[in-house]
Amino acid sequence: MPLRGEDLLLHLNLGYLQYRDQIQSDNSVFKAAALDYSFNERIGFSVETFSGVEDSLSWRVGARYTLIPDFLQIDASYGSDYGTFQGARAFTVGFGITPGF
């Protein structure tokens, strides 16, 4: 949902995870809210908070760089569970294909 043109976007997500194996029984509702800011055509930043398994609340900050406009991006993020910063940190790097239709 645009908040300020296409530069600042709000993302709201709701989902459900159901495990197929009988060993894992903690099916979960996932909730997330994120702000995505495009600094310019190639550089963007995001901040997100979400919950899922056992309703643990987590956060993540990220950066995005467009390698090929309307086609290929690289992103990185860093985050943790609230209140357990030392024990549950995560760092991700990924590529995104974003064809400009």
pTM over 0.85: no
* Tokens 């310019």 sit on residue: 40
Q: How many whole angstroms separate alpha carbon 54 and alpha carbon 40?
A: 38
pLDDT digits (tens, 9 = 90+) for 36-61: 999 998 999 999 998 876 667 889 99
pLDDT digits (tens, 9 = 90+) for 55-96: 678 899 999 999 998 899 999 999 988 776 566 788 999 999
Q: Domain segments of the chain: what residues?
A: 2-97
